[in-house]
């Protein structure tokens, strides 16, 4: 529980109300308004939750002004450099870094759950051949609740644990199957001798007719992309997972809700939208035209991969991602990739522009990730599914934290109603 040492006083028409001020371990203080409606008969108004803490959490911390992202206290730069995705999964799920034995046990548990129920193959075949892999994933992950009945009782901690492991283990398999289905290739079974990221590449790029050897440089880059996307405190999709879970819905349904929310271009869909934008720009000389369009409110156009609700200095994930883009493209022998040149020049021009400076708009994690993923051979439609499979551990950690919290309540925001007041139903002929 956060500490409460001070109070703030709210004055409404001369009547005062004391609001407890809660202090987090780090970050801004939080006014506790839980009793406000009962005492003062007023709601607070905060569309988009720009000033509202929706929960207590111990998982991830972001300092938007400093450009800092911590998983359980550890800076993302250190984890990206020294850790690996499954270790980060353990950290997010259980709160501490594992020792060697805990890590080995965890790896075995995840690895043993990578296959999906064979009947799920038939389920995939019900989708249109050209379905977007995100559409398939929303459906298939939701349908996991129909296949894994023994891990849907949210009141049982053991079932919650099994569901968590199943989701972390099977999401890469499901994402790869969605991809294979969309390009008309046979599904590839997981290979447990490979590490998590290497196995995902294998399931995406291997075909029965040819041996596929995982390039360690690419699997390391993929592992890093996964780490950078693993959690991001109470963003839109995580809040969706928590809200869905607050009604007692099973974890598979909740994660499917998170995937649906992530799909939007303002959130996880931005990586696909960003690469499409970079391709549309095409050459460095067209950048000023697009920057001008982004500044024109009437155009409805935004620079995709730019801006963030919380980061107002820089997105630390983008810094690591930019380094990775350089490394991967260099190693693939495409260091002079025209899209990377356009991206770097666009970043340079935008960061010198008064509009972007004054609004504190910086490249976010999605700005460079698409370039790396495309260089690896992924089509743009797979960018958001890769974000989804990487974020699954964050969603499930946040969901577990919420379910385990004795203070959990169903999420039920109120509203500022501005519609018609009560009126009587008129007969048809009088309208």
Which residues lie across from 23 on neighbouring strands? 3
Find the binder of ligand CMC among 72, 242, 308, 400 (CB under 6 A): 308
Q: Is residue 293 close enough to count as binding ligand CMC by CB under 6 A? A: no
Measured CA distances, 46 to 19, 24, 49, 51, 234 (Å): 17, 21, 5, 7, 15
Residue 113 or residue 267: which is nearer to ligand CMC going by CB? Answer: 267
267 forms part of the interface with ligand CMC (CB under 6 A): yes
d(CA 203, CA 220): 16
Instruction: Mark the segment that binds ligand CMC (CB under 6 A) among 74-82, 106-114, 301-309, 373-381.
Output: 301-309
- One of 207, 266, 292, 357 touching ligand CMC (CB under 6 A): 266
Site membership for ligand CMC, residue 366 (CB under 6 A): yes
For ligand CMC, the binding residue among 198, 251, 268, 385 (CB under 6 A) is 268
| Residues near 344 by beta carbon (within 8 Å), at least 6 away in sequence | none
Q: Please, which of residues 332-361 interact with ligand CMC by CB under 6 A?
A: 359, 361
- Contact segment (CB under 6 A) with ligand CMC among 86-94, 305-313, 338-346, 421-429 equals 305-313
Our CB check for ligand CMC shows the closer of 99 and 298 to be 298
In the bound state with ligand CMC, the residue whose beta carbon lies nearer, of 7 and 54, is 54
Residue among 201, 270, 275, 388 that touches ligand CMC (CB under 6 A)? 270
SS (H, E, C) the chain: CCEEEEEEEEEECCEEEEEEEEECCCCCCEECCCCHHHHHCCCCCCHHHCCCCCCCCCCEEEECCCCEEEECCEEHHHHHHHCCHHHHHHHHHHCCCCCHHHHHHHHHHHHCCCCCCCCHHHHHCCCCCCCCHHHHHHHHHHHHHHHCHHHCCCCCHHHHHHHHHHHHHHHHHHHHHHHHHHHCCCCCCCCCCCCHHHHHHHHHHCECCECCCCCHHHHHHHHHHHHHHCCCCCCHHHHHHHHHHHCCCCHHHHHHHHHHHHCCCCCCCHHHHHHHHHHHHCCHHHHHHHHHHHHCHHHCCCCCCECCCCCCCCCHHHHHHHHHHHHHHHHCCCCCCHHHHHHHHHHHHHHCCHHHHHCCCCECCHHHHHHHHHHHCCCHHHHHHHHHHHHHHHHHHHHHHHHCCCCCCCCCCCCCCCCCCCCCCCCHHHC
In the complex with ligand CMC, the residue whose CB is nearer, 108 or 266, is 266
Query: Using CB under 6 A, which of 109, 191, 293, 309 touches ligand CMC?
Result: 309
Nearer to ligand CMC, 364 or 397 (CB): 364
Binding residues for ligand CMC, rule CB under 6 A, total 20
The residues carrying an active-site annotation are 308, 366
Considering only the stretches 86-94, 154-162, 299-307, 376-384, report the one whose residues sit in contact with ligand CMC under the rule CB under 6 A.
Answer: 299-307
Q: From CA 44, how far away is CA 144, in angstroms rounded? A: 38
Pick the closer one to ligand CMC by CB: 60 or 235: 235
Q: Which is nearer to ligand CMC, 116 or 259 (CB)?
A: 259
Among 139, 198, 258, 307, the residue binding ligand CMC under the rule CB under 6 A is: 307
Q: x/- binding map, residues 61-80, to ligand CMC, per CB under 6 A?
A: --------------------
**CA 95 from centroid of its chain's CA atoms:** 19
User: Minimum distance between the CB of residue 266 and ligand CMC, rounded to whole angstroms?
Assistant: 4
**Residues between 21 and 50 with contacts to ligand CMC, criterion CB under 6 A:** none
Q: Which stretch binds ligand CMC (CB under 6 A): 10-18, 68-76, 148-156, 298-306?
A: 298-306
Query: Among residues 160 and 322, whose Cβ is nearest to ligand CMC?
Result: 322
Residues 234-263 that bind ligand CMC (CB under 6 A): 235
Applying CB under 6 A, the residues found at the interface with ligand CMC are 232, 235, 266-268, 270, 294, 302-309, 359, 361, 364-366
């Amino acid at each position: 529980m956060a500490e409460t040492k001070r109070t703030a006083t709210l004055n409404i028409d001369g009547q005062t109300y004391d609001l407890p001020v809660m202090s987090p371990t780090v970050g801004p203080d939080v006014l506790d308004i839980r009793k406000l409606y009962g005492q003062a008969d007023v709601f607070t108004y905060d569309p988009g939750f720009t000033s509202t803490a929706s929960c207590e959490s111990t998982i991830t911390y972001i300092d938007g002004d400093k450009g800092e992202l911590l998983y359980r206290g550890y800076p993302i730069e250190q984890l990206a450099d020294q850790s690996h995705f499954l270790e980060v999964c353990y950290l997010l799920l259980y709160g501490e870094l594992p020792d060697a034995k805990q890590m080995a046990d965890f790896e075995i548990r995840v690895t043993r759950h990578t296959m999906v129920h064979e009947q799920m193959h038939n389920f995939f075949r019900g989708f249109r051949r050209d379905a977007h892999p995100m559409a398939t994933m929303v459906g298939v992950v939701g349908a996991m609740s129909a296949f894994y009945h023994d891990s849907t009782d949210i009141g049982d901690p053991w079932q919650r644990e099994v569901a968590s492991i199943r989701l972390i283990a099977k999401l890469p398999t499901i994402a790869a199957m969605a991809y294979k289905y969309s390009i008309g290739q046979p599904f590839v079974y997981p290979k447990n001798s490979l590490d998590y990221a290497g196995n995902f590449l294998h399931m995406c790029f291997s075909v029965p007719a040819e041996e596929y050897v995982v390039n360690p440089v690419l699997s390391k880059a993929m592992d890093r992309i996964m780490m950078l996307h693993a959690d991001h405190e109470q963003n839109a999709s995580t809040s969706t997972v928590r809200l869905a879970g607050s009604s007692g819905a099973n974890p598979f349904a909740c994660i499917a809700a998170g995937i649906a929310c992530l799909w939007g271009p303002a959130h996880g869909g931005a990586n696909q939208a960003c690469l499409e934008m970079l391709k549309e720009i095409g050459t460095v000389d067209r950048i000023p035209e697009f920057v001008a369009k982004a500044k024109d409110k009437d155009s409805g156009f935004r620079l995709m991969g730019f801006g963030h609700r919380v980061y107002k200095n820089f997105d630390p994930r983008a810094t690591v991602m930019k380094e990775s883009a350089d490394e991967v493209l260099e190693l693939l022998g495409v260091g002079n990739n025209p899209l990377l040149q356009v991206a770097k020049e666009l970043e340079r021009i935008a960061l010198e522009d008064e509009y972007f400076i004054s609004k504190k708009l910086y490249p976010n994690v999605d700005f460079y990730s698409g370039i790396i993923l495309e260089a690896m051979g992924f089509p743009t439609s797979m960018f958001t599914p890769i974000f989804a499979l990487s974020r699954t551990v964050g969603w499930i950690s946040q969901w577990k934290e919420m379910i385990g919290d004795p203070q959990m309540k169903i999420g039920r925001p109120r509203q500022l109603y501005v519609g018609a007041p009560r009126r009587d139903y008129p007969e048809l002929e009088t309208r």
